[in-house]
């Protein structure tokens, strides 16, 4: 029996509709600022989509474009300016940054209350403690997708392939919070296929097209493909996006599976909008009650 193909675009529309409703409760539109340094074409495409989605929701949006050789001090200066502006609720620094810039130092400079990427150590720490805070958008989107097909994850075996700060680690923490038994595989794992074959849920976030094939998948397992590798088209007319999963074969074995494109990608962007609204609401509440935001 063929797997259910999860429609990430439809789920994203639901999230965006909820965000639009939630934003009506505020006395001003949420504000999202995106910093992009350099001219990586894929990053520019992502940023354009993020800004467009925010504009469609009526958010205040701002894009700060810096040259590839701007240096770390300049990025930190822009972050500091955005931290100080009351009408900006969310700050996203598009990754990857140019190689001479220390990503963790930049993440640490973002006000944790405006950290809509959930990458500041305070938000990452809160996630591992299950104590609130802003959650990275891709894992948050994956979790909404997983819960749309398995509402209760208690006791299920989830395997996360990849251990990045932006997807793999927060994904594992979220699954653990939902009482799944979590195995994290990474570049040094000896037999990822063996581990995956016992999984009820596989989340792959590696960036290696075709890594996960049908014989890695337990029949009826839920397969979430976070991979988005740009592969040149055979006729030279641009690129196609390829996931980590061999979709055409995996779809014959899995119970539910996300396609690429049209799976996790739209949910990541919808969750960025949700995080921006969450940050705006948290900041408003803190201001009204004169309590600190996320400290």
**Residues engaged in binding ligand GUN (CB under 6 A):** 92-95, 117, 137-138, 166, 268
Distance CA 88, CA 134 (A): 15
Q: Which is nearer to ligand GUN, 91 or 182 (CB)?
A: 91
Smallest distance from the beta carbon of 226 to ligand GUN, in angstroms? Answer: 10
Smallest distance from the beta carbon of 217 to ligand GUN, in angstroms? Answer: 25
Residues with Cβ within 8 Å of residue 51, at least 6 apart in sequence? 32, 34, 61, 63
Distance CA 154, CA 115 (A): 29
Residue 63 annotated to the active site: no
From the CA atom positions of the chain, what is the Rg in Å? 19
Q: Per DSSP, which regions of 144-281 are E strands? A: 157-161, 181-185, 201-204, 222-225, 229-232, 239-242, 256-257
Smallest distance from the beta carbon of 137 to ligand GUN, in angstroms? Answer: 5
Q: Which is nearer to ligand GUN, 183 or 228 (CB)?
A: 228
Smallest distance from the beta carbon of 255 to ligand GUN, in angstroms? Answer: 27
Q: Which is nearer to ligand GUN, 11 or 93 (CB)?
A: 93
Half-sphere exposure (CA, 13 Å, Cβ side) for 167? 23
Q: Which is nearer to ligand GUN, 163 or 268 (CB)?
A: 268
Going by their DSSP bridges, the two strands 4-5 and 31-37 should be labelled as unpaired
Residue 117 annotated to the active site: yes
User: Is cis: bond before 93, omega within 30 of 0?
Assistant: no
Residues with Cβ within 8 Å of residue 216, at least 6 apart in sequence? 192, 193, 196, 197, 202
Going by their DSSP bridges, the two strands 239-242 and 229-232 should be labelled as antiparallel
Catalytic residue among 89, 115, 117, 200: 117
Residue 129 annotated to the active site: no
Q: Which is nearer to ligand GUN, 63 or 193 (CB)?
A: 63
Task: List residues with catalytic annotation.
Answer: 50, 94, 117
């Amino acid at each position: 029996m063929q797997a259910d193909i999860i429609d990430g675009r439809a789920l994203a529309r639901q999230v965006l509709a909820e965000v639009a409703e939630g934003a009506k409760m505020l006395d001003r539109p949420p504000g999202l600022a995106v910093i992009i340094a350099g001219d990586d074409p894929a990053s520019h495409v992502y940023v354009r989509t993020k800004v467009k989605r925010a504009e469609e929701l009526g958010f205040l949006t701002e894009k700060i474009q810096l040259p590839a050789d701007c240096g770390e001090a300049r990025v930190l200066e822009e972050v500091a300016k955005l931290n100080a502006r009351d009408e900006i609720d969310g700050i996203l620094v598009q990754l990857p940054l140019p190689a001479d810039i220390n990503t963790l130092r930049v993440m640490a400079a973002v006000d944790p209350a405006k950290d809509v990427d959930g990458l500041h150590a305070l938000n990452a720490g809160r996630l591992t403690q299950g104590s609130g805070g802003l959650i990275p958008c891709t894992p948050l989107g994956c979790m909404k997708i997983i819960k749309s097909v398995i509402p209760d994850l208690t006791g299920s075996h989830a395997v996360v392939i990849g251990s990045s700060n932006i997807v793999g680690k927060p994904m594992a923490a979220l699954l653990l919070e939902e009482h799944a038994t979590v195995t994290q595989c990474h570049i040094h794992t000896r037999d990822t296929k063996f581990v995956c074959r016992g999984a009820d849920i596989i989340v792959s976030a590696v960036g290696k097209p075709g890594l996960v094939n049908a014989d890695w998948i337990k029949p009826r397992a839920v397969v979430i493909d976070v991979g988005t590798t740009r592969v040149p088209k055979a006729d030279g007319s641009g690129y196609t996006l390829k996931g980590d999963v061999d979709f055409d074969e995996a779809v014959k074995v899995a119970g539910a599976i996300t396609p690429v494109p049209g799976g996790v990608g739209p949910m990541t962007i919808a969750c960025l909008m949700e995080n921006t609204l969450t940050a705006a609401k948290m900041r408003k509440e803190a201001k009204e009650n004169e309590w600190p935001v996320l400290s």
